[in-house]
Amino acid sequence: MITKFVVKTVIKALKKKLVAWLGPWFAYWVIRLLGLTMRLEEVHPEIPETFRGKGIPVIGAFWHGRLLLMPLIYKGKKLSFLVSPHRDGQVVGKALVRFGFHPILGSTHRNRFSSFKQLIKATKTGTTSPLLPMVQEARGTVSKLA
CA–CA dist 67, 74 (Å, integer): 11
68 phi/psi in degrees, rounded to 5 = -55, -35
Domain count, the chain: 1
CA 99 from centre of chain: 11
Domain range for 21:
1-146
Name the amino acid, one letter, at 97: V
pTM of the model: 0.70
Digitized pLDDT (tens) for each residue of the chain, 146 residues in all: 578 888 888 888 888 888 888 999 999 999 999 989 988 887 888 887 788 788 777 777 776 677 777 888 877 777 787 777 788 888 888 888 898 888 887 766 666 677 778 777 777 776 656 566 655 454 555 555 55
Helix (H) or strand (E) holding 92: helix 87-98
For residues 47 and 115, the answer to whether their CB atoms sit within 8 Å is no
